[in-house]
Structure 1
Amino acid sequence: MDPEQTGQFLDSVKGARLYSLWYMFVFSGRRRGEMRALPWPEVSLDALWLHISAQMVEVAHRQYGEAPKAESVRTNWLSLDHGEVLSRWQDQETKELNEWAGVEARVESDRVWTHENGEPLHPDWVSRRFKRLGELSGLPPVRLHDLRHISATPALLGKADVKVVQERLGHSSRQITSDTYTSVLPEMMRTEAESTLSVVPREVAYDVHQKLEIAPNAFRGNVAVLFAHGARYTGNTWVVGAQTGPRAPLFGEIHTVGRGQEHAADAALKWIRGHCASQGLEILRVEDLNDQYPEDQRPHFAWLRFFITRPERPDVSQWGVPASPSPRSGGSRSRAYRRC
């Protein structure tokens, strides 16, 4: 399927119970075994990430959980849309499980995707269901595993770095990713100069009201996601803060005077780039999230997302269940990021 057909498929299954599963197959590039093994404690709807540290395999018609290859242990960062889709699914699944309370057939698996009674999905059932939905959508035949490759193509055409896509897919090397998606590399080169944010900010002045300090626990492995959100305080004065989530501690704050959203974004970019340079950190990617605000609110807000890495490689042997509480315990949802 090409990107247009992929969109048609998602539109056709929008009302399906497991829409979130097909959505995540399309946009996350996860393997079937990894998707089935994912437990809620390894998903954060606040910080927008999910951690891949297990997969389900089938041997002689019996299912087993096992650790994936070292290069496949990774943290995937989620978009706001990912968070919204998973948040709605979590609410639906919790409601279904409550309806099964006290029933002997109820299963407590803690997996993200299950049947109504909580029983984990069988791999063959997932593949058969996807095949049937594809037939009903009227689109060309496609295997479930093909969605893994389909998910990479829009990411690369959307200017994602090959290294970032490699780590998301769990490829052992950048070369494998480049060789697999050679057909889209020319288009990537043509769009390289069309970045939505300049890597070199324009000259802007700002006052530091709280020194930026990125806490060590903000990093998963050697990568942290930092949100810089600005709001027009009064007149042309903007307040810009940096944190990992809506209720996370504020890591720093600056004030700047400028005429609009673009000025505030440039100030945030210069501020965080300067901090990273002084601390030996590297910015992997910067995303402009301003279009997430309603159009009438955009003149009053600025919003950027930074992917920041430490120079050392992560020690994957130490990765386990994240310390973040399980999303089942409640708390804020990713939609809270819409408020500054």
Structure 2
Amino acid sequence: MTETFNPSYHRQCGCKEPAFDEEGNPVLDRTGKQKMLRIGVSCPRLKADKKHGSWHLYFELEAGESNSRRRVRRGGFATKKAAERKAAELYREAVKGTDILSDSTVGEDLDAWIERKKRLARTTAHGYEEHIRLYLKPHLGHIKRRDLKLRHVEAMYAAIERENAERLLHHARIVELREARDAAHTAWVRAAGKTEERRSARRAYLDANAALREGSKGKRKITSVNTMHRINATLSSFLTSGIKRGDYTTNWAKMVELPPIKKPRALIWTPERVADWQRTGEKPSPVMVWTPEQTGEFLDFIATDRLAAMWHGFIFRGPRRGEMCALPKTEVGLSGPAQWFRISAQVVEVAYRLYDEAPKQDSVRTVSLDQYTGALWAAYAEARDQEREKWGEENAYVESDRFWVREDGTPLHPDWVSRRFNRLVELSGLPPVRLHDTRHLSAALALLGGAPMKVVQERLGHKSFQITSDTYTTVLPQLLTAEAETTSAVVPRPAQPGLAPTPEKRARGRRSAGSSGTDQATASEGEAGGKAPGVTRDAVTGAPNEGFERAA
């Protein structure tokens, strides 16, 4: 950008006057009405009234292709100072490389960007498309590329917050309608006979049910803080790509201040938390983990379930559900002394449709099986072959290369696996955990058993040691108790750990804690029987004793 920045400014208005041709005849439109033309800078009111009209700017950029002129025009400024500031801003953007003459909108650029993203993982692409469709285009799509600023992005998140408040009210209203419907149904059931009272109760129930259906229309989920951060990540990726292409100069998404993400911490189902859950029905955290004793109860409960071997695999080996559902028969070794399975594929679910995808490079791994779990897997494989023969007689068996299948050979859907696990947990009477929480449980059990963190990281398929340490290392009560005991044992104490000092021990402490004008006592003086006047202090608490110990 080497040309001289020499903008010009003028004031003009939108006033109009009747149009006449060269002969002085009125110019008419198609309807027969006289046309009106803008007066522009010639309006006589511009000189008489300084507040009439608005300021406009004009300057030229360096010539474009084929030596074409590139003119920059903007208008609608209340003062000349505002026009001057805008001209300087436009020129700075042009120097940075922004195409300030383009009329392309953010929405058009978003469509072109997602069209270029051909190599994205299917779930990532689906997330990008959802963010663009539900948030970015409705709030930013109409803005021209050259005009996008931080205030527009901040306004989008402010609008999302307002929508959340409205949705919360809608959800609360639906709860009220549902409670009214349930109460009406109860009244109908309790009404006796075919009396008018029963007919009236039935009509009230039908009206309440219809009100619930009508009130539930348009229900939308709350946009969480986590979702807003993901939306911002999508916008940041889009703007980064636009900067590389020269369409944008600033990544406004990186300047937005969003509420911090409160990552849920995995908690153990201690007896106190179980009692509170039984009383209130509420989980103390979205991520909960069983104790080893509770885990044993669940494994005993599902011992006769057809997929008991798979639940053992989830709990002790911690694979993701998409990895387990996609596990091929050829990637499971159960014949040798070392039993294993290799995760080299995964199933992803998008709008309940399944797609086979290769896992991330760090997630491709070989996982060893313990002897008991390996025996369960071998028993399942044998039962699966018997089912194949039974269903094959009726030509109803579905051939598949998957290790885990239904009785008829149909591959398992990840959502079905989650729902089945949740149902088994509910029937067991144990406090609730999610299927994905078994990864936390698997890591915690491994650490309790003394496994190195690096081994746990490789088994779970994490890219870095830090992810495993921060995310899946739920501390079991046994580890906390052991840590407390080992820390306390570092300091030598006269009393046994966990026992309060007896009166006899306190007396011995006083006799051995004679001081010489200070509050401190030495063991050597006590052993030698030395006494000195002064205040003595409790050997355990350090508090002054009752009375004074003086030399005989």
Scaled to the shorter chain, the TM-score interval is 0.5 to 0.7
Equivalent position of 2:114 in the other structure: none
Amino acid at match of 1:67: A
Q: In 1, are the aligned partners of 2:387 and 2:408 still within 8 Å (CA)? A: yes
- For 1:78 and 1:125, how far apart are their aligned partners in 2? 24
Do structure 1's residue 187 and structure 2's residue 479 form an aligned pair?
yes
Equivalent position of 2:57 in the other structure: none
Equivalent position of 1:101 in the other structure: 392
Q: Per the alignment, in what secondary structure is the counterpart of residue 100 of structure 1? A: helix
Do structure 1's residue 5 and structure 2's residue 297 form an aligned pair?
no
Equivalent position of 2:416 in the other structure: 125
Deviation at 1:125, TM superposition (A): 1.3
Q: Per the alignment, in what secondary structure is the counterpart of residue 65 of structure 1? A: strand
Larger strand proportion of the pair? 1
Deviation at 1:60, TM superposition (A): 2.8
Equivalent position of 1:51 in the other structure: 342
Q: In 1, are the aligned partners of 2:440 and 2:474 still within 8 Å (CA)? A: no
Q: Deviations over 1:23-80 (max 9, x none)?
A: 1111110000000000110011123111101100012331111111111010101111
Consecutive aligned runs of 4 or more in structure 1 exceeding 2 Å deviation = 102-105, 182-191
Q: Which one scores higher on RCO, CA 8 angstroms, separation ≥ 6?
A: 1
- For 1:40 and 1:102, how far apart are their aligned partners in 2? 22
Q: Per the alignment, in what secondary structure is the counterpart of residue 56 of structure 1? A: strand
Q: How does 1:54-203 map to 2 (within 5 A)?
A: 54-180=345-471, 181=473, 183=475, 187=479
Seen in structure 2, the aligned counterparts of structure 1 residues 157 and 123 have a Cα distance that, compared at 3 Å, is: same
Q: Per the alignment, in what secondary structure is the counterpart of residue 89 of structure 1? A: helix
Do structure 1's residue 17 and structure 2's residue 306 form an aligned pair?
yes
Seen in structure 2, the aligned counterparts of structure 1 residues 188 and 175 have a Cα distance that, compared at 3 Å, is: farther
Deviation at 1:171, TM superposition (A): 1.0
Q: In 2, are the aligned partners of 1:58 and 1:64 still within 8 Å (CA)? A: yes
Q: Deviations over 1:242-280 (max 9, x none)?
A: xxxxxxxxxxxxxxxxxxxxxxxxxxxxxxxxxxxxxxx
Structure 1 gap segments, 5+ residues each? 192-340
- For 1:79 and 1:25, how far apart are their aligned partners in 2? 13
Q: CA RMSD in A?
A: 2.0
Seen in structure 2, the aligned counterparts of structure 1 residues 185 and 165 have a Cα distance that, compared at 3 Å, is: farther
Amino acid at match of 1:78: L
Provide the aligned length of Structure 1 versus Structure 2.
191
Query: In percent, how many aligned pairs have the same letter?
Result: 57
Q: In 2, are the aligned partners of 1:157 and 1:188 still within 8 Å (CA)? A: no
Q: In 2, are the aligned partners of 1:55 and 1:66 still within 8 Å (CA)? A: yes
- For 1:185 and 1:132, how far apart are their aligned partners in 2? 27
Structure 2 gap segments, 5+ residues each? 1-289, 484-552
Seen in structure 2, the aligned counterparts of structure 1 residues 32 and 149 have a Cα distance that, compared at 3 Å, is: same
Q: Deviations over 1:134-173 (max 9, x none)?
A: 0110000111111111111111110111000000001111
Q: Rg larger in 1 or in 2? A: 2
Equivalent position of 2:250 in the other structure: none
Q: How does 1:171-250 map to 2 (within 5 A)?
A: 171-180=462-471, 181=473, 183=475, 187=479
Equivalent position of 2:261 in the other structure: none
- For 2:355 and 2:342, how far apart are their aligned partners in 1? 19
Deviation at 1:106, TM superposition (A): 1.1
